[in-house]
Amino acid sequence: GAVVSQHPSWVICKSGTSVKIECRSLDFQATTMFWYRQFPKQSLMLMATSNEGSKATYEQGVEKDKFLINHASLTLSTLTVTSAHPEDSSFYICSAFTTGVNEKLFFGSGTQLSVL
């Protein structure tokens, strides 16, 4: 089945540093990927839609200059949290979908970010 790989699975960083999270579709091409954020015991909140070869579309309230998204190829999207602060500590999850008859959305394993 389709697999989405997300790396790293967890990261601890100092306040003010930048962190890059990678999301790869391993056995299918994904023109569109989605980035979600989830705080403890809360739901997944869509941050942005990542489109291959074009700018990402951000949801209302998400700072595009703080959460940089690059979708350089059909199998890779990256999310960079710039100048991270403790309030950015969260679980970040990417997803990609396969189209066709068996259309499904697959999630990466998530990245737990802790900013000290």
In the complex, the smallest distance separating the C-beta of residue 70 from another protein, rounded to whole angstroms, is: 19
Q: How near is the Cβ of 42 to another protein at its closest, in Å?
A: 8
Query: Does position 89 bind another protein by CB under 8 A?
Result: no
Among 46, 55, 73, 83, binds another protein (CB under 8 A): 46
CB distance 114 to 8 below 8 Å: no
CB atoms within 10 A of CB 110: 18
Q: How far is the CB of 109 from another protein (least distance, A)?
A: 5
- Which stretch in 12-20, 61-69, 80-88, 97-105 sits in contact with another protein by CB under 8 A? 97-105
Please classify residue 60 by burial: count the beta carbons closer than 10 Å to its beta carbon, then call 0-12 exposed, 13-18 middle and 19+ buried: exposed
